[in-house]
Structure 1
């Protein structure tokens, strides 16, 4: 049950097949380069693409656009403290701006940063500061068919091995991303957060939680971790974040806004220096401390969105819609990473296209085929997006929040099933131009089909 009704609509149109083929060719077979009006169902990302509520739209009118001391900043800070338990925040224009603020203050040349699995911009920011981003996914993450409830967990034993190799003094931060976007949006248990917190203390590292999808993670904890059965999502959200020294947040996910982010730092004396460094870096790169690259109206909508995100009726409907898409794809014979995550369904391109080598980007072949077949835009998160890693070739179909109907979901399933029926006809791709930063290749590289 979706739990909302539309109060504003936008017309969409499925352009004819020949227009889709031409648009894809002109985009260099990279769907990031497609004009949005050529896309029918856009599942490229859930970041900033959702639908705001009537309460959020009303809050826009209350924005205090003062450069310094804006009351809208106080409203956001109060919402963060209420929903996440942090009273000290440094606002930023979006999540990657917050990553720049935090990791630029925390990471130095020669360091190693551990994560359950770094996502693209996180990896890029850490590498840009001269550090080595190392993934520590749990062993169960590699089993696409397992029913393990928390395949997004951080592998503390693997992390301890890395610490022994590089020296704990060279690890300034241990990061856990909830949910784990690079591992098919899988959740992380509170028990694992406690264990990771203890490990961070053991090596004297700052424990960071990337909280972009903290409410969705809390919904999974409510459903799957016996200790929290019967607890509200709001209470679980505060519990899971209580173990962090610092939080990095994109408001474009579980803030339910189209823009915005922040860094939050625990209010303890040992973290004063980090908070001060983030404040100064925020002023330099994002804007003054009371707006951080956001308009006052965006701060107001963000504050409302955080409170809405931790309501049980909202987040349960959100997670259920993703699961419905996953179950329908599975029923249609399309191989997916199981179980579905909190924000997206991940298609297994290696299983669907075994005749295409990883070096020929089977995930990108699947992305292009989905667009050509039905105007559906997803994103490759495998050998193309993460060069020089051994990640599987997955295609993410990320659902914008409170946006698409059951009919749209059916169209996506029918499109994917049609592609699966002709999977043996698909061919691989090669890169013909790419940017100098390998971690960001998939955003702007151009490709061409091999045949």
Structure 2
């Protein structure tokens, strides 16, 4: 299990029959009771800057994992984290289950969804709680799978307005068929707009929509991309790409001047 259980628990409370009177904590406990173990990235719904944990109900496996922890991270009492971070996790795991927080969290995602739909931007529906997913394949139909339409959209959202997003499409998920070697592409080319918790206001979300609108308005000018470097595994983390055709509105060189120096970038 991942660390988005609080949000999922709240969606279960709102959308599934028989759970309307249960708290997110009760629903989480019911989900965890079905699992043999969990892996949690506390940087998400733990509401902290760093950290995570593993929990399991197998004592022998726990002992093995604890020994590995000592070798790689530190003693079980801190696991490579500062005391401040451990305390923040303990508090965050409680706060993340508060219904007022979850209601606001879901409200932000709902607002961003409604604004994008008003602008005729195709997204995955219904939305969840932590992110909105733009259908880049529909937005950029002129870019084929092998030219990474999701990555092209993510790059141009950043160039247009500094909006950081992540591609969930062919760059991340395309893979060779083990028998034929032919590339298998995912059905969807998506761009995820994840909302950091307790960071953005409604004005920030309006700005995001504005940038998406401006990008969509010049969609025909957005090129596909090709790989110039890719590792064998997990290429979407460290791959390098270049546009397949020149983009007139992206400068190839510019100068940055400060009161005491001048920096030229090519």
| TM-score between the two structures when normalised by the length of structure 2 | 0.86
Give the structure 2 partner of residue 430 of structure 1.
Answer: 226
Aligned with 2:208 (options 407, 412, 417): 412
Give the structure 1 partner of residue 40 of structure 2.
Answer: 249
Aligned with 1:370 (options 145, 151, 157): 157
Q: Runs of at least 4 residues of structure 1 off by over 2 A? A: none
1:304 aligns with 2:91: yes
Give the structure 1 partner of residue 198 of structure 2.
Answer: 402
Q: Deviations over 1:58-89 (max 9, x none)?
A: xxxxxxxxxxxxxxxxxxxxxxxxxxxxxxxx
Q: C-alpha distance in 2, partners of 1:408/1:356?
A: 29
Q: C-alpha distance in 2, partners of 1:254/1:284?
A: 28
1:324 aligns with 2:120: no
Q: C-alpha distance in 1, partners of 2:4/2:108?
A: 15
1:342 aligns with 2:129: yes
1:327 Cα deviation (Å)?
1.4
Secondary structure in 2 aligned to 1:377?
coil
Give the structure 1 partner of residue 67 of structure 2.
Answer: 280
Give the structure 1 partner of residue 11 of structure 2.
Answer: 220
Q: C-alpha distance in 2, partners of 1:272/1:404?
A: 42
Give the structure 2 partner of residue 355 of structure 1.
Answer: 142
Give the structure 2 partner of residue 170 of structure 1.
Answer: none
1:419 Cα deviation (Å)?
1.1
Secondary structure in 2 aligned to 1:289?
coil
Q: C-alpha distance in 1, partners of 2:56/2:31?
A: 15
1:448 Cα deviation (Å)?
0.4
Q: C-alpha distance in 2, partners of 1:436/1:243?
A: 35
1:423 Cα deviation (Å)?
1.2
Aligned with 1:294 (options 81, 93, 97): 81
Give the structure 2 partner of residue 448 of structure 1.
Answer: 242
Q: Deviations over 1:241-283 (max 9, x none)?
A: 11111010011011100001000012xxxx2221111111222
Q: Deviations over 1:167-215 (max 9, x none)?
A: xxxxxxxxxxxxxxxxxxxxxxxxxxxxxxxxxxxxxxxxxx22x1110
Secondary structure in 2 aligned to 1:384?
helix
1:383 Cα deviation (Å)?
0.5
1:353 Cα deviation (Å)?
0.8
Structure (1 or 2) with the greater helix fraction? 1
1:430 Cα deviation (Å)?
0.1
Q: C-alpha distance in 2, partners of 1:290/1:436?
A: 36
**Contact 1:322–1:345 under 8 Å retained in 2:** yes
Secondary structure in 1 aligned to 2:192?
strand
1:436 Cα deviation (Å)?
3.2
| TM-score between the two structures when normalised by the length of structure 1 | 0.51
**Contact 2:151–2:171 under 8 Å retained in 1:** yes
Count of residue correspondences: 236
Q: CA RMSD in A?
A: 1.1
- Which one has more relative contact order, counting CA pairs under 8 Å at least 6 apart? 1
Give the structure 2 partner of residue 159 of structure 1.
Answer: none
Consecutive unaligned residues in structure 1, runs of 5 or more: 1-208
Q: Write the mapping of 1:72-87 to structure 2, written as runs, cut at 5 A.
A: none
Secondary structure in 1 aligned to 2:171?
coil
